[in-house]
């Protein structure tokens, strides 16, 4: 199962709106005869890929799968039936499928006389599939806020200079992180200050059709025609206010014509910025299940205030500035009792980050009624989902 989890991770960034899934098949003697993972939406699922490799040797064997085999027919057939047809005698899965449109594979297998058990390494498998599981349950993308700062929490010096606070190795790691998500989000402030490219480059680079969607939250439609996010490296979506004056809307359309899609959204309740819940809804409808938030402190604060930060990845350089903007802007926190407290998953350093420190954390669990920090590591993964896209798409 641990091997299947590692295989599943190879599909991060290319399977949405489907989950990442890995499968290992062993024959009746316990020898591995087939491996597979879901590589791209619309392509073969992990079980089918593993069955193709194993051939007749799968008969009487055991399939280890990170997610309950689907019982749904979409662009591909149901994996549960494929396992039955191959003569597999036993199926062990890690996490039950929370999507009602695709769930039920375990029942199909049992009805066909296949021995089925679930829950093996469920926590590990769910963590590797946390974006899809969260999106399926909450009907919104899983959002990771990434930032780079000095040890005293500054993202730029007092004069506004910020290149480069962290090392080249840390920046390369960010590109690898970008390659695992469906969309990268930044705000117009960051765009105007730094002119970021937001595409995956370097060793992690991918062809345009597998690049994450670049999303710029540009409420006032200020993006310049020469902005690097308007090039052909990756698709770009501009999220702006739907009440822009006609002249401003026309000018924006003219500047980005043919190079970006414009999405008009209602303003946030406080009138500052767009409604991030509406943005999430629109992204989810486009098949986006994971977002990397790379905006500046204002946008990051707005996401935090809205309860939309699911994970935090901070790159901290061994540098002190003493002045300059902080990594996080106003987030609706006025007292220490209201602080957004995090649980640290990992602290990593060394040559991989060029002397920097990478901290990975997530909001500590809250009352289950809150709904903003779902537990994606259940014993059996059986939390029901909403009316979401099927596993097969």
Interacting residues of 138 by C-beta distance below 8 A, sequence separation 6+: 371, 374, 386
Q: Which among 128, 155, 184 is the end of a domain? A: 128
Mean pLDDT of the chain: 90
Q: Which among 103, 128, 153 is the end of a domain? A: 128
Interval 343-381: pLDDT, tens: 999 999 988 999 999 999 999 986 433 444 444 433 333
Same domain, 271 and 173: yes
Same domain, 54 and 161: no
Same domain, 61 and 160: no
Same domain, 152 and 301: yes
| pLDDT given for residue 186 in this prediction | 97
Q: Which domain holds residue 268?
A: 141-363
Q: Which among 76, 94, 128 is the end of a domain? A: 128
CATH classification of the domain holding 29: 3.40.140.10
Same domain, 237 and 284: yes
pLDDT average, residue stretch 115-123: 97
Same domain, 79 and 149: no
Structure tokens at 44: 């073969």
Q: Quote the CA–CA distance of 316 and 228 in Å, as a whole number.
A: 26
Active site residue 294: no
**Looking at the domain assignment, is residue 191 inside a domain?**
yes
Q: Quote the CA–CA distance of 383 and 344 in Å, as a whole number.
A: 24
In the chain, what are the helix, strand and coil shares in percent, each to the nearest 5?
30, 20, 50
**Looking at the domain assignment, is residue 292 inside a domain?**
yes
Same domain, 159 and 219: yes
From 47, 68, 130, 294, active-site residue: 47
**Looking at the domain assignment, is residue 135 inside a domain?**
no
| pLDDT given for residue 366 in this prediction | 63
Interval 136-162: pLDDT, tens: 999 999 999 999 999 999 999 999 888
The yes-or-no verdict on residue 30 having pLDDT over 60 is yes
Same domain, 60 and 113: yes
Phi then psi for 136, rounded to 5 degrees? -65, -40
| pLDDT given for residue 350 in this prediction | 87
**Looking at the domain assignment, is residue 305 inside a domain?**
yes
| % of the chain surpassing 90 pLDDT | 82
Same domain, 75 and 184: no
Please, what sign has the CA dihedral across residues 289, 290, 296, 298? positive
Question: Is 187 within 8 Å of 216 (Cβ atoms)?
Answer: yes
Same domain, 150 and 240: yes
Q: Quote the CA–CA distance of 189 and 199 in Å, as a whole number.
A: 18
**Looking at the domain assignment, is residue 185 inside a domain?**
yes
**Looking at the domain assignment, is residue 392 inside a domain?**
no
CATH classification of the domain holding 145: 3.40.430.10
Structure tokens at 292: 């990397």
| pLDDT given for residue 380 in this prediction | 39
**Looking at the domain assignment, is residue 387 inside a domain?**
no
Number of domains the chain is built from: 2
Q: Quote the CA–CA distance of 24 and 32 in Å, as a whole number.
A: 7
Nearest to 152 by CA among 381, 324, 351, 329: 324
Same domain, 159 and 290: yes
The yes-or-no verdict on residue 384 having pLDDT over 80 is no
CA distances from 69 to 33, 47, 88, 101 (A): 19, 8, 13, 12
pLDDT average, residue stretch 222-237: 96
Query: Which residue stretches of 195-273 are H helix?
Result: 246-256
CA 38 to chain centre: 16
Burial of residue 343 (number of CB atoms within 10 Å: 0-12, 13-18, 19+) = exposed
Same domain, 312 and 339: yes
Interacting residues of 190 by C-beta distance below 8 A, sequence separation 6+: 196, 294, 295, 296, 299
**Looking at the domain assignment, is residue 273 inside a domain?**
yes
Rg for the chain, CA atoms, rounded: 22
């Amino acid at each position: 199962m641990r091997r299947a989890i590692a295989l599943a991770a190879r599909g991060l960034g290319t399977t949405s709106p489907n989950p990442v899934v890995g499968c290992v098949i062993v024959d009746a003697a316990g020898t591995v005869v087939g491996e597979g993972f879901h590589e791209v939406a619309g392509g073969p699922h992990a079980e089918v890929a593993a069955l193709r490799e194993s051939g007749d040797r799968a008969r009487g064997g055991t399939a280890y799968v990170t997610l309950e085999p689907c019982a749904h027919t979409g662009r591909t057939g149901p994996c549960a039936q494929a396992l039955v047809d191959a003569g597999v005698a036993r199926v062990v899965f890690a996490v039950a499928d929370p999507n009602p449109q695709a769930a039920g594979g375990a029942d199909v297998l049992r009805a066909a006389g296949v021995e089925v058990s679930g829950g093996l390494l469920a926590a590990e498998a769910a963590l590797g599939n946390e974006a899809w599981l969260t999106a399926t349950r909450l009907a919104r993308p899983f959002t990771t806020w990434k930032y780079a700062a000095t040890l005293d929490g500054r993202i730029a010096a007092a004069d506004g200079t910020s290149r480069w606070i962290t090392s080249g190795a840390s920046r390369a790691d960010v590109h690898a992180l970008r390659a695992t998500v469906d969309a990268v989000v930044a705000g117009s402030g960051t765009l105007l200050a730094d002119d970021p490219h937001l595409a995956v480059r370097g060793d992690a680079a991918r062809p345009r059709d597998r690049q994450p969607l670049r999303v710029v939250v540009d409420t006032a439609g200020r993006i310049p025609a020469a902005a690097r996010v308007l090039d052909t490296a990756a698709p770009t979506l501009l999220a702006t206010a739907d009440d822009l004056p006609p002249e401003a809307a026309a000018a924006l359309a003219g500047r980005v014509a043919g190079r970006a899609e414009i999405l008009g959204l209602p303003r946030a309740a406080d009138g500052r910025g767009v409604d991030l819940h509406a943005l999430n809804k629109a992204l989810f409808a486009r098949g986006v299940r994971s977002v990397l938030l790379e905006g500046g402190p204002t946008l990051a604060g707005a996401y935090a205030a809205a309860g939309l930060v699911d994970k935090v990845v901070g790159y901290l350089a061994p540098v002190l500035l003493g002045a300059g903007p902080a990594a996080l802007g106003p987030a609706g926190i006025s007292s220490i009792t209201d602080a957004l407290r995090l649980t640290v998953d990992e602290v990593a350093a060394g040559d991989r980050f060029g002397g920097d420190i990478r901290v990975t954390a997530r909001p500590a669990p809250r009352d289950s009624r809150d709904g903003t920090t779902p537990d994606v590591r259940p014993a059996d993964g059986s939390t029901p989902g909403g009316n979401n896209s099927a596993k097969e798409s």
